[in-house]
């Protein structure tokens, strides 16, 4: 149970800067996801927390204690590798016992603790099995158990679900989240999959190109992304982002989307914030799930290019040219390819971004 504090953390590899100043406070017992595309610096950050890399600049504090110069075996950090790094030449029992044995604990105590954790993780029937041929869900539990047995203050997980097949991933996500809740340990979870971060994390740190973009709860980053990158990266599909310019109309401030026409008037508070940006190009953003279609009703007319029916959801692909819109519906929507529909966007879900800087335009 430890709070982690990253202060002005910088990491360079030769001429390449993997991480350009990172400041992040991870609270005691929190499940924090470091989320971003490959090369965003999330793994570098994690490796520095574990002590596998040392920072070029800045400090890492565990409960206020500077970890600089503390060797990776002495930080009290449990690490679950992407490929689990199970000791394949040992059986399940010896893998679990490893951390206790290297500390020289008496074999009786080792045995007691191995059995306890095996019981907890439902590995007891497998204790004598060689670990080389276990299925990935068991490997994952084993990797967690092997780290957990030495009772680390911090758990670091490096994309532990990326080798798991899609159907099973949902189950593993729930189980992992539930385990963390029981262990009550500070957990840092690195992933490029926004779905994993959304479903499991207490808070998400979204990163791109070595820069921390936004920190917040899953719903905060989903509902109020600070910039275009976060808006596009979070959500499946990501936020619809349409280029346009602000324009006045008799009903209030609207956005002119070129080929697609004009939007409904902006909500008053957003309009007020946008006034200061008047004349500049903006990006008009809204979530695909906050759209309704009608054959005749109010809204912007858009051609339907393609309808994807994927089980519980239906994704309608709308728009023309560069101005593409996706809309997500329950599986019973009535829309046909190659027709034109009126698209109504829930006013409360509209977000505006400065087209030049990509930064969100917020109500003051």
Partner 1 sequence: MTSLATREKMPMADAALNQGVATADDGRRLGFALTLPAQLLVLFIAVFPLLMQLYISLTDWSPLDGIGWWQAYELWNSFANYTDLMADTRFWGALGRTALVMLICVPAEFLLGLGLAILFMDDFVGKRVFYSIMLIPMMVVPAVAGYMFFMLFQSGGPVNDILSGLTGMNVSIAWLSDPTTALIAVMIADIWQWTPLMFLILLAGLVGVPEDQVRAATLLGASWWQRFRTIVLPKMKTIIIIALAIRIIENFKIFDTLYIMTGGGPGVATETISVYIYKVTQQDLIWGYVAAIALVILISLSILVSLAISRMNKKKEA
Partner 2 sequence: MAGISFRNVTKRYGKTVAVKNASYDIQPGEFFCFFGPPLSGKSTILKLILGLETPDEGEVLIGGKPVNHVSPASRNVAMVFQNLALFPHMTAVQNIRFPLVERKVPEVAIKARVDEVAAKLHIAHLLHKPPAQLSGGERQRVAIARALVRDPVAYLMDDPISALDARLREETRVELKRIQRDLGQTLIYVTHDQEEAMSVADRMAIMEDGEIRQIGTPVEIYDRPASRYVAQLLGAPMMNLMPVGASGREAGEGTIVLPARAMPQDVVGVGIRPEDLKVEPWAENHPNRPATVYEVEPLGGYTVVTLDTGGQKLRALMRGQPDIRIESVVALSCNPERIHFFGAAGEALRP
Nearest 10 degrees: Cα torsion 222, 223, 227, 229: 30
Measuring CA to CA, which residue among 189, 179, 249 is closest to residue 218? 189
Please name the residue that has the structure tokens 């003051």: 364
Report the distance separating Cα 21 and Cα 7, nearest Å.
Answer: 8
Task: Please pick, from the candidates 3, 61, 70, 72, the single residue that binds partner 1 as defined by CB under 8 A.
Answer: 72
Using the minimum distance from each CB to partner 1, give the nearer residue, 100 or 179: 100
Helix 136-148 × helix 107-120 angle, to 10°: 130
Select from 117-125, 162-170, 242-250, 271-279 the region that touches partner 2 (CB under 8 A).
162-170
Helix (H, G, I), strand (E, B) or coil at 298: coil
Taking the complex as a whole, the smallest distance from the CB of residue 157 to partner 2 amounts, in Å, to: 17
Site for partner 2 in 222-281 (CB under 8 A): 222-223, 233-238
- Beta carbon of residue 143, minimum distance to partner 1 (angstroms, whole number): 8
Residues facing 281 on adjacent strands? 245
- Check binding of 317 to partner 2 (CB under 8 A): yes
User: Does the footprint of partner 2 cover residue 346 (CB under 8 A)?
Assistant: no
Could you write out the three-class secondary structure of 322-344? CEEEEEEEECCCCCCCCCEEEEE
E strand or H helix at 98? helix 92-101
Max CA separation in the chain (angstroms): 82
Q: How far is the CB of 287 from partner 1 (least distance, A)?
A: 39
CB neighbours of residue 246 within 10 Å: 21
Alpha helices in the chain (DSSP H): 42-50, 92-101, 107-120, 136-148, 166-183, 194-200, 218-223, 228-233, 268-275
Partner from partner 2, partner 1, none binding residue 183, C-beta < 5-8 Å depending on class = none
For the beta carbon of residue 289, count every other beta carbon within 10 angstroms: 15
Pick one of 1, 85, 356, 359: the residue that binds partner 1 (CB under 8 A). 85
To the nearest whole angstrom, how small is the minimum distance from the Cβ of residue 197 to partner 1? 23
CB nearer to partner 2: pick between 22 and 200: 200
Per CB under 8 A, the segment of 76-84, 167-175, 214-222, 259-267 that binds partner 1 is 76-84
Residue 145 or 244 with smaller CB distance to partner 1: 145
Question: Could you give the CA distance from residue 263 to residue 283 in angstroms, rounded to a whole number?
Answer: 12
Site for partner 2 in 286-315 (CB under 8 A): 287-290, 305-306, 308-313, 315
Pick from 7, 98, 224, 280: which binds partner 1 (CB under 8 A)? 98
Backbone angles phi, psi at 331, to 5 degrees: -75, 5
Among the listed residues 41, 99, 225, 238, the single contact to partner 1 using CB under 8 A? 99
Binding residues vs partner 2 (CB under 8 A): 37, 165-167, 170, 173-174, 177-178, 192-193, 195, 198-200, 218-219, 222-223, 233-238, 287-290, 305-306, 308-313, 315, 317, 328, 330-331
Binding residues vs partner 1 (CB under 8 A): 50, 52, 72-74, 77-79, 81, 83, 85-90, 98-99, 102-103, 146-147, 150
């Amino acid at each position: 149970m430890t709070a982690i504090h990253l202060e002005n953390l910088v990491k360079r590899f030769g001429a390449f800067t993997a991480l350009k100043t990172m400041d992040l406070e991870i609270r005691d017992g929190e499940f924090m996801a470091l989320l971003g595309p490959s090369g965003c610096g999330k793994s570098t950050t994690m490796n520095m927390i574990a002590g596998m890399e040392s920072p070029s600049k800045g400090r890492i504090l565990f409960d206020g204690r500077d970890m600089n110069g503390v060797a990776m075996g002495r930080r009290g950090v449990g690490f679950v590798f992407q490929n689990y790094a199970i000791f394949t030449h040992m059986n399940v029992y010896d893998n679990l016992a490893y951390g206790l044995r290297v500390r020289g604990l008496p074999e009786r105590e080792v045995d007691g603790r191995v059995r306890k954790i095996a019981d907890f993780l439902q590995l007891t029937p497998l204790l004598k099995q060689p670990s080389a041929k276990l299925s990935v869900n068991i490997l994952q539990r084993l990797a967690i158990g092997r780290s957990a047995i030495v009772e680390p203050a911090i758990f670091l997980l490096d994309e532990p679900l990326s080798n798991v097949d899609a159907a099973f991933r949902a189950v593993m996500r729930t189980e992992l989240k539930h385990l963390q809740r029981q262990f009550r340990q500070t957990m840092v979870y690195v992933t490029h999959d926004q779905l994993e971060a959304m479903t499991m994390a207490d808070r998400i740190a979204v990163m791109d190109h070595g820069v921390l973009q936004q920190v917040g709860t899953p719903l905060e980053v989903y509902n109020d992304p600070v910039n275009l990158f976060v808006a596009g990266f979070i959500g499946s599909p990501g936020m619809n982002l349409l280029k346009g310019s602000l324009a006045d109309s008799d009903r209030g401030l609207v956005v002119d989307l070129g080929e697609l026409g004009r939007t409904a008037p902006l909500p008053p508070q957003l309009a007020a914030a946008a006034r200061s940006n008047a004349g500049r190009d903006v990006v008009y953003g809204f979530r695909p799930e906050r759209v309704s279609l009608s054959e005749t009703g109010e809204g912007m007319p858009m051609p339907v290019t393609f309808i994807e029916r994927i089980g519980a959801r239906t994704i309608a692909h709308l728009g023309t040219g560069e101005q593409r819109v996706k809309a997500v519906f329950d599986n019973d929507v009535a829309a046909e390819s190659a027709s034109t529909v009126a698209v109504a966007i829930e006013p409360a879900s509209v977000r505006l971004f400065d087209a030049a800087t990509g930064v969100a335009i917020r109500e003051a």
